[in-house]
Chain A
Amino acid sequence: MFRFDRRLLQNIDWAIIGGVLIVTLMALLNLYSATRLNDAVGLSAFFKQLYFNLMGFGLILLIVTIDYKVLIGLSYPLYIFGLLMLVAAMAFGQTVAGSQRWIGLGFFRLQPSEPAKLILVITLASYYYRKDTGKGFTLPELFVPIILTLVPFLLILKQPDLGTALMLLIIFASMTLFVKLRWSTFGILAGGALGALPVVWKLLKPYQRQRIEIFLNPESDPLGSGYHITQSKIAVGSGLKFGKGYLHGTQGQLDFLPERHTDFAFSVWAEEWGFFGSLVFLACYFFVLLWGLNIAVTARDKFGMLLAFGIVSLLFWQAFINLGMIMGLLPVVGVPLPLFSYGGSSLLTNLAGIGLLLNIRMRRFMVAA
């Protein structure tokens, strides 16, 4: 199982590797611009991200050597491990900016909610793969995946990290819709979700409610919480056709943009490279994701298909929510742009996801051992 087949090398998907490389290089370029004048972060962020990239590509190498189907058996241990990390973050994690999301590992602060997303994708893919009868899932059959999703969801919501928690629900919804659902089940789930909305609203922290309210009416608080959206829109909009030039984006360079190396990294890009630069970026970025769907279509088996679909949906929804937020289409929910925003946990997780896509791609013609 761990033996590396030379034939695999011929099937390496250079397209996706190339796409990811370009995106991560753009990310590093952008990170330098966003942080070089920031006293609090400084150049150390740039180098950290560089190291994480190198680690991430190492991780990809490791992942592609192992047939992805081992994950079917490893999904529950992985899931338990993921939950333990979330509990650990809660029990003795580090509190940063009011959220308890991190586990200190000396050289690196691990944010367990990031791998938790990928682990949920793997767990759900395994579960649906194993349980699928081809007749469509009934509500009792969905009980387990719902629980599998809700446990990490609640743990992450408690940190509190609304954006990541919501991502779990979106992953669940995407993957569950992808496998066959009975219409009755879909109706009940949709109804249940709608019914739960008021309850969720009550569970939200005041600042989270405020963010949604401000999203619905951004003019209500232009200097308070609406500030982020406004500043981000100004940054993006003022980029015009060709941008202000690399390292010359005033909004980003002058500290008007909040979180500009993490969640708002793309604002910096859009400001400095303009509309055409942004189009180039989006083209590269979504090429990778659309290529990921192609990997799902051509997967050797259903598990590979489910897994690839789950990974692509994980990356895509985060990207869409992040970009929508930056462009003022969606509320500020603190979702990073995968492969682009600064953050080691997120980068490693997403590169691991890319590794799995490569893995699936490489083995599309292979017969299981």
Chain B
Amino acid sequence: MARGLGNINKMDPAELKMLKTRIDIATAIMVTLIAVLVVRLWYLQIRKGTEYAQLSENNRTRIQYIAAPRGNVLDRNGNIIIANRPRFNVIWIREDAPHPDEVLKQLAKILKLDISVLLDRIRAGADHPRYLPTRLKEDIDWETLVAIENNAYRLPGVQVEVLPSRDYLYDEMASHLLGYLGEINQQELDASDDNTYMPGDLIGKGGIEKLFDRYLRGEKGASFVEVDVRGVVQKRLKTQEAVPGNDLQLTIDIGMQKAAEDAMADKAGAVVAMEVNTGRILVLTSLPALPLHEFSSGIPANVWQRLLSDPKTPLINKPIQGQYPPGSTYKIVTALAGLSEKVITPDTSFFCSGSINFGNRSYGCWKKGGHGSISLHRALAESCDVYFYQVAQKLGPDLLAHYAHSLGLGAKTGITLENEKAGNIPTTAWKLKRFKEPWQEGETLSVGIGQGFDLATPLQICRMTAAVANGGTLYRPQFIAAVKDSTGAFVSRFKPIVDGTSLGSPRTLQLIRDGLEGAVNEPHGTATAAKMENVIVAGKTGTAQVVRMAQYKATSASNVPYLYQDHAWFTCFAPFDKPQIAVTVLVEHGGHGGSAAAPVAKAVLSKYFEMYPPPPLPAAEAATAATPTLPVTTTPATPPTKPAAPPTATPSPTPSTKPSAKPMAKPPAKKKP
């Protein structure tokens, strides 16, 4: 202060000059640095501007995908079988919850749960990072959802996640056909050549959900959104709406499907029904059903293990993957071949004493007492083995195979389901190639009655029956009635496909149909259990032999362990004079076809004719159906409904008919008997 104010105006001119020079220097420095900033600004905004503009674009826009509603699956009458249903889960994000105790108390009240349940869940997820959600409650109902949303501001940290899920309105019905959804895996991602599929997507894992995934899934929509640095959406820029998936209308009749599955009850096996004049499949059942509700979020390992080890092999889609000896249903083939090759006429008769000797062995008829003198009609109706042994013997395996092939056996039917099996129709050449051994003539006898090397799927037998019924046309079995887009317009519609025509004249087929009619409607027929009041049914029973253990030979059927009991077949069509529908039933280890399988077919037919009433029966036919005239028989009548004794041993090595235990999603290893 001493020097202070006194000399404040006195500035030495030299010093002033010097200071002014320094200010000039400072100005120069300042201008230089400003120039540096301007150049830098030019560099960032002009020189590299587009690069940064691009970066900023990526910085802020994200694509949010909008799930397309998956198409519904309907039955032929428009009943919805699979619908979509969003599932709402309550989740907890610890990071966002500053006051967990208060919030959880509130939440427990809303969920009507004890708070300890919630705490247990949270503790279970305590090791996860704080920002990862913990599920507190799955699949809450609408009211709970509303309650949570209304109280959202009081429940920081609590959120509701929405997961799309499939709603199976008929539970496990037609489970193998319908299939299920699961999260897409890497293989499936790699396999898709376009951008249809993305990680995290749900994709059909089996059945039509898989086969028709591209129709059902629709097209994802996308919303371009601006997000802030935390990913919080600020603004929607452009939205491309999702295109809902196509609805899939099946030819399946869910009422008949239910009738079939109800009639099967807890039995394992397959039921197939198809329209004989179109190939439309009305019923396609494989039992035991798959527990679809347990598959909703991937198949748990323990469930998978349980299904794999189940002796009833639920993982096999039996109508198309189960290969069984066709048993006596194959007599249709033998009859067709015999008549067509003229080794028999309708009047040719053989004598059945209950068995026949060939080589040094005796081949038995299922009816130990024998059928006596028997010709074609009764042989079919009463399923005389001895008759067909002799017809087969006259034909030989290769001619039999020729006719079998013409009825669609031994080859895939071409149904659009995965891993269909072809069955097996043996020929001499096949045997030589397969076993390096020549054909044994005794094997012809077994093959002639559908045992031995013969294998067929229930679908094949059904189509064969339909062909016999319709006069010889082999229709491709199809189960898609229509594919419709969300506006209801048809994307594609069912069209019958003819895959071939069977051998045999119309008259020959008529003779066979007559025999089948007798099996159901004549007192000694093997299939009287399928007889109906208002419709004339024609059908054929069959018994597929399973590995015959010597130790069970003498045991009565009911004492044989489940896995060694025979499979029961029944295949039929109706109405007899103007066939509309063919039904084939296979009951695994069910014993005799007449008792185990025929009632199931009858249940399916009843349901069908309940919905599509048949024309009234002609008087004469009605009389026949109501009070059948007894044909002359030389043997005592065996009540057909009583379980018949298993057929006697067949001479040839009988292959195991147990279908290979492979899941339906994976192709089982090719296995020829």
Contact = CB atoms under 8 A, between A and B. Distances in A.
Interface residues of A, number: 56
Given A236-B52, A254-B228, A301-B9, A178 B45 contact: no
A262 interface: no
Contact of B51 (A237, A274, A278, A312): A237
B19 A305 contact: yes
A71 to B, nearest CB: 11
Contact of B52 (A72, A178, A233, A367): A233
Interface in B13-70: 15-16, 18-20, 22-23, 26-27, 30-31, 33-34, 36-38, 40-42, 44-46, 48-53, 55-57, 59-60
B18 A180 contact: yes
B51 A255 contact: no
A73 B26 CA distance: 28
Interface in A216-251: 231, 233-241, 250-251
Contact of B27 (A134, A293, A303, A305): A293
Given A241-B46, A270-B41, A278-B45, A368 B5 contact: yes
A174 B37 CA distance: 20
B56 A251 contact: yes
A234 B59 CA distance: 9
A302 interface: yes
A137 interface: no
B236 to A, nearest CB: 13
Given A69-B8, A130-B4, A297-B20, A237 B230 contact: no
Nearest to B29: A316
B229 interface: yes
B5 A69 contact: yes
A290 interface: yes
A254 B234 contact: yes
B554 interface: no
Interface in B174-192: none
A282 B38 CA distance: 8
Contacts of A88: none
B36 A329 contact: yes
B30 A290 contact: yes
Interface string A269-312: 01100110011001000100110010011001111010001001
B229 A279 contact: no
A320 B34 CA distance: 8
B433 interface: no
Contact of B40 (A240, A297, A327): A327
A134 B16 CA distance: 10
Nearest to A249: B56
Nearest to A308: B23
Given A254-B226, A274-B45, A238 B56 contact: yes
A234 B56 contact: yes
A367 B9 contact: yes
B58 to A, nearest CB: 9
* Main DSSP-derived SS at the A contact region: helix
A163 to B, nearest CB: 18
A241 B15 contact: no
B211 interface: no
Given A237-B51, A255-B228, A37 B234 contact: yes
B229 A130 contact: no
B571 to A, nearest CB: 69
A60 B634 CA distance: 132
Given A134-B15, A297-B23, A251 B41 contact: no
A222 B230 CA distance: 16
Contacts of B49: 237-241, 275
A208 interface: no
A270 B36 contact: no
B1 interface: yes
A222 B442 CA distance: 83
A235 B41 CA distance: 12
A177 B18 CA distance: 12
A145 B301 CA distance: 79
Nearest to A275: B45
A303 B6 CA distance: 13
B8 A293 contact: no
B671 interface: no
Contacts of A234: 52, 55-56, 59
Interface of B: 1, 3-5, 8-9, 11-12, 15-16, 18-20, 22-23, 26-27, 30-31, 33-34, 36-38, 40-42, 44-46, 48-53, 55-57, 59-60, 226-230, 232, 234
25 contacts: A69-B8, A72-B4, A134-B15, A231-B59, A234-B59, A237-B45, A237-B48, A237-B51, A238-B53, A239-B49, A254-B227, A254-B228, A256-B59, A256-B60, A275-B41, A290-B27, A293-B23, A293-B27, A297-B20, A297-B23, A301-B8, A327-B41, A327-B44, A328-B40, A367-B9
Interface of A: 37, 69, 72-73, 130, 134, 174, 177-178, 180, 231, 233-241, 250-251, 253-256, 270-271, 274-275, 278-279, 282, 286, 289-290, 293, 296-297, 300-303, 305, 309, 312-313, 316, 320, 323-324, 327-329, 367-368
5 tightest Cβ-Cβ pairs between the two chains A and B: A237-B52, A255-B228, A238-B56, A275-B45, A237-B44
